[in-house]
Structure 1
Amino acid sequence: MKILCVCGLGQGTSLILRINVETVLRQLGVQADVENTDVSSASSENPDLIVTSNELAQSLEGHASKIVIVNNYFDTNEIKTALEEHFNN
């Protein structure tokens, strides 16, 4: 499974999100290749899952990948809840 963590510029915030997503995936026992990138690069990639904010999800509307929305990239509880919802559906 490939997961992209997306922010506007693909550097600071998406890196923090990536670290937190990796932490949550370990807690859930899910194996995945997690990368971080900017929103324009994400539109040309084909991951299984994109984790991003609501604003950036609108920019990726119509993307073939499933998009998981997280409002607070620092909140591992919110990230865990969002990913659990995805994996349980």
Structure 2
Amino acid sequence: MKVLTVCGMGFGTSLMLLMDIQEIGKRHGYDIQGEAVDLGSAKGKVCDFMVASSEIVSELSDESVEIVSINNILDKEEIESKVMPVVERLAKGAR
């Protein structure tokens, strides 16, 4: 499964989110591929879902995949509690 992590510049926040999501997925037995991108590059990219900070998530509202909004990107518990239900649902084939 592929996730796009999105931030304003495409490094820093999005890269941190991607690494956290991949580590959380691995702990739960999932191989999560991903890409950390800036807001402009996220448009039209093919992925299973996107994760972005709550500050920019509204700018992704036109995307056709589920978008997970993270309030505190340093809170790994929040990331896990919001991302894992999406990963598990996608792994079961439900969209």
Calculate the TM-score normalised by the size of structure 2.
0.84
Structure 1 CA distance for aligned equivalents of residues 59 and 69 of structure 2? 12
Contact 1:3 1:33 in 2 (8 A): yes
> Identity percentage over the alignment?
33
Offset at 1:3? 0.4
Offset at 1:21? 0.9
Contact 1:20 1:73 in 2 (8 A): no
Give the aligned partner of residue 74 of structure 1.
Answer: 74
Give the aligned partner of residue 11 of structure 2.
Answer: 11
| Structure 1 residue matching 2:55: 3-state secondary structure | helix
Runs of 4+ in 1 over 6 A off after TM superposition: none
| Larger relative contact order (CA 8 Å, sep ≥ 6) | 1
Calculate the TM-score normalised by the size of structure 1.
0.89
Structure 1 CA distance for aligned equivalents of residues 87 and 12 of structure 2? 26
With over 3 angstroms needed to count, the CA separation of the structure-2 counterparts of 1:33 and 1:87, relative to structure 1, is closer
| Structure 2 residue matching 1:3: 3-state secondary structure | strand
**Gapped regions of structure 2 (runs ≥ 5):** 90-95
Once the two structures are superposed, the pairs formed by residues 7-86 of structure 1 within 5 Å of their partners are 7-86=7-86
Structure 2 CA distance for aligned equivalents of residues 23 and 76 of structure 1? 10
Cα RMSD of the aligned pairs, angstroms, is 1.4
| Structure 1 residue matching 2:71: 3-state secondary structure | coil
Structure 2 CA distance for aligned equivalents of residues 4 and 87 of structure 1? 13
Contact 1:13 1:73 in 2 (8 A): yes
Q: Tell me the matched-pair count.
A: 89
